[in-house]
Structure 1
């Protein structure tokens, strides 16, 4: 929790603001001393203790077949382009996506609820009277994939290991945990210091559990191609380092009949191939080497899907509604570098981004302009601040830009010409106000140093976006350039905050966790390698608003805190918002079965869908 200096605490000025920033109890509406089959941040659970399966699955889905899958998302140290380790739980190295399928967690998420989890390894959880203790009763049948029992000792070991040595996202979530004790093989007690939030606990109960025996005999922090011992529905099969990984379904998986698993994990094999080039990846899909692909390049979606398999109806191309979760793609200017600390410089660079031209010329009419850090959600600030938002913001008025207290800041529309003279004129004036004067082709400061912006890119698609942006920057005297690097360099430079400008796309869940918010915005993360606070944001107001979000006792309180946070981020322009897509653009070989109605808070086709033998035979994939 961010600790407020005494002078700021005393300046709160209203009971509402003081209450919002004082410590609150996580799960305040959930009964204590009672065995619970599930948890949610605000106490509401859709499914009863005797539920048979989630509503969004087919409980009778057949098992079998193979999906060659191009993952649309990743977590922790996972990479889309290559891999050199099978350990996704540490910062070191690049691991393949979906290693998490090899592990179980204490509880599993319901994808049709915004923040609910239900027992997986844990049959039940009981809250202590002070709500700082959580007793988990584990299922005695839980097993690792070598047949050895998975006990409370393994869970305690794993969580303590992550707190001390795990990936920063894991260790940060566990910082409030003071004890993890196995009182017997099926009873685990977790104790917290009182500063934890409900969202924090939900993140912890979803963490992969590893074997104490395995990581007593093996180095946890090693980059290794030896698969760790898992307990989940899949295990690592064939591996070609940097090229291919296959996950094989565990036929005798101990948890296959649990309600949280019924109807899921249907493919016998999930294969992921890695391509350094987007076009090569697309060609693999066209040939049928890849079976499912989500398309993120507007040009390819508009013009590339004209190959024979699609014309012959062997491939399906369609849009599927997106999730009801906050979404953001934005560009960070690294404020660890002094030239970007002035808001006027950031605003000038933002004025050079001509979305309207890009939408027409590069995006084929796709995408909408992002304005918020919480696009597509109730957390997006609109209009003037509410009284609740003002109560949170007012104590920090002296620190905050005055725009925070007016209409929610929005980036201006361009005329779509690609070179909007009005906006570029505004950008030039902002630079002049910030002390950058024109000297020949460039603007310089009082030391004669040019204003330089190197835009860091990983692939050709981002280079296409950056190129017209950099040309507009050059037009107003900024020495702009684009540096394209390979995946390993890209990740390392991000981890070390070694860049001027970079792009990030993120979605932090329907009920954003404090850990997710801190990773992106908290002052401490500005100096923590491996975090996603790329701009180097350091703000007492932002830290306090994250605390307020973590202490929210209802969804309406959470909405108020996050709308206030959104106002601050937009006014400061810590992230320059770019664009978003409302739907998933997907293409797949017509060999799968699935329920047409997808869940609102997730779209993991590799675990929801199944292999349809009849369809596969019709297209020659049987």
Structure 2
């Protein structure tokens, strides 16, 4: 009897502990560590809570737009469209992965990761005054899973169902326990108004301004050319700690440009206010203007602590010509990064050598004993080099002469059954080694032309095809390309999106980010292991293992990366003195003055004009 009572007491105690662990919280983290900000926080450290409201932020984008629905695999959505929507939670910009309540006042995460429950704020409203309810959350989830971009079906593949428990409480049940990331990424859902969408066709592109609950609404649309957002003056969440110091401009206007050279000249002429420069040559040479010299245009380089991920010339291995890894490696060897960086980029870039570059998750050393435990069961399915060598892209002396790389590429092609016939590289079936490189940005052509020459010296014919943005998007979604520039950005806590990038389940889904066409059981296993990692250490180990499998598959020609943001802006803008490590947080900036003015000697008024507010 005593033993029975003891067991009963132990069971009750365990139940009470579980209930305590699952108590609703103001914020949730990946591994249940304490969030940086307590429940009574006033604002984030990286904002200026007393920033003045007013003015217009003028921005640019490339290529235009033909849709105001960013959630479907059709059309090219307008830039900054996310400003009209609120999400269940807000991702903190100065923590690796913490979500604070926004639409949701509290979040309850099951200790075994079998469900997550969101408690909506009673005051949450769409911008027509209609309350945001659990029914809207369920409608959003089900609509995105049925009619949204295929990314959502991969991203939320482990969600069984969404249930509206009452008007302000919604629960997501999972198909299996253990997916730690799932509660956090569900919090990132932008909630759509059921009453507005239920009589409209969500699957079609259109330019009717949609209803949201966010800090801005769409005020004017000039299709393909410009869009204007205006701040919602009675925005329901403007005084929440999660929003204090954000959304300071009365209006945000985005003008579209089809030529980035024209856009840069427009910026220097004062047609828009802010420019993140992505071209090293421009940063080095194109800002020689009176406005830069007298300080009206401010240039800053801010350190970027985000994992970079991978940018590269991606092979579509659905094409027969790219199904042999030796052919892919040979083509990769002929890209001379060192010469390109020296001659075109003013030595500004570093070579991308990891799918998790600029982070501890990059496989920049041999696997240790713990990582080998992950890799060993897959030994017969992975390249042998993944176990014995550290992947390093080929390196030249920057002279433009790459004889050794050409010799190695030639040997690889001979091993793959190729030979030279009439100065052309011809495969075992007599077909010349030729492919098309699809491109949307004309600026990239100058990078590809020297690469094309290196390839042609081995009899390989690369045709560069420049297409407009609309055609590019359609061909990309339909996998109608041989090779292209692709990027896979990474976060500090990679997870479910890796299915969208590399998993077999996404290979044939139009619009997914599995551009390469990967269908590899070993990579599938590594992706699932990463998603289900139960600690930070386990996540890092699985990321490194996945990194090795991808690198030694030679699926891309690695490009380059920069661990800084290069920002140029007119000094009528100001930003907080302390910006977060993972973002330059443009929506925390404000208008310091109406017109740009010459800077005073020894001072940068745009970076220091910060009114002091309450702590």
TM-score, with length taken from structure 2:
0.92
1:236-270 CA distances to partner (integer Å, 9 max, x unpaired)? 11110000011111110000011110110111111
CA contact (8 A) 1:89 1:166 kept: yes
Aligned CA distance change for structure 1 residues 384 and 184 (closer, same or farther; 3 Å): same
What does residue 612 of structure 2 align with?
none
Q: 270, 278, 288: which is aligned to 1:306?
A: 288
Aligned CA distance change for structure 1 residues 129 and 598 (closer, same or farther; 3 Å): closer
Give the distance between the partners of 2:24 and 2:428, measured in 1 at CA.
Answer: 67
What does residue 326 of structure 1 align with?
308
Instruction: Give the Å deviation of 1:384.
Output: 1.4
What does residue 73 of structure 2 align with?
91
Q: 389, 397, 402: which is aligned to 2:384?
A: 402
Instruction: Give the Å deviation of 1:458.
Output: 0.8
Instruction: Give the Å deviation of 1:437.
Output: 0.6
1:345-399 CA distances to partner (integer Å, 9 max, x unpaired)? 0111111100010011111111011111111000001221111211111111111
Give the distance between the partners of 2:435 and 2:325, measured in 1 at CA.
Answer: 15
Instruction: Give the Å deviation of 1:613.
Output: 2.0
Q: Does 1:164 align with 2:153?
A: no
What does residue 396 of structure 2 align with?
414
Q: Does 1:569 align with 2:550?
A: yes
Other structure's SS at 1:180 match: strand
What does residue 47 of structure 2 align with?
57
Which deviates more from structure 2 when the two are superposed, residues 532-541 or residues 85-94? Answer: 532-541
Other structure's SS at 1:527 match: coil
Other structure's SS at 1:397 match: helix
Give the distance between the partners of 2:346 and 2:97, measured in 1 at CA.
Answer: 36
Aligned CA distance change for structure 1 residues 33 and 351 (closer, same or farther; 3 Å): closer
- Aligned-CA RMSD value: 1.8
Q: 501, 513, 519: which is aligned to 2:483?
A: 501
Give the distance between the partners of 1:33 and 1:395, measured in 2 at CA.
Answer: 35
1:179-217 CA distances to partner (integer Å, 9 max, x unpaired)? 222222211122111156222332221111010001112
Q: Does 1:442 align with 2:418?
A: no
Q: 92, 98, 102: which is aligned to 1:120?
A: 102
Q: Does 1:34 align with 2:23?
A: yes
Give the distance between the partners of 2:355 and 2:113, measured in 1 at CA.
Answer: 32
1:43-81 CA distances to partner (integer Å, 9 max, x unpaired)? 12111111111111111111111111236xxxxxxxx31
What does residue 522 of structure 1 align with?
503
Structure 1: unaligned runs, 5 residues or longer: 1-27, 72-79
Instruction: Give the Å deviation of 1:150.
Output: 1.0
Instruction: Give the Å deviation of 1:117.
Output: 0.3
Other structure's SS at 2:217 match: strand
Instruction: Give the Å deviation of 1:483.
Output: 0.6
Give the distance between the partners of 1:130 and 1:423, measured in 2 at CA.
Answer: 51
What does residue 351 of structure 1 align with?
333
Other structure's SS at 1:544 match: helix
What does residue 591 of structure 2 align with?
611
Aligned CA distance change for structure 1 residues 144 and 315 (closer, same or farther; 3 Å): same
What does residue 17 of structure 1 align with?
none
What does residue 423 of structure 1 align with?
405
Aligned CA distance change for structure 1 residues 283 and 31 (closer, same or farther; 3 Å): farther
Q: Does 1:560 align with 2:507?
A: no
Give the distance between the partners of 1:370 and 1:126, measured in 2 at CA.
Answer: 39
Instruction: Give the Å deviation of 1:129.
Output: 5.9
Give the distance between the partners of 2:274 and 2:146, measured in 1 at CA.
Answer: 38
Other structure's SS at 2:230 match: strand
CA contact (8 A) 2:502 2:523 kept: yes
Instruction: Give the Å deviation of 1:100.
Output: 1.0
CA contact (8 A) 2:109 2:183 kept: no
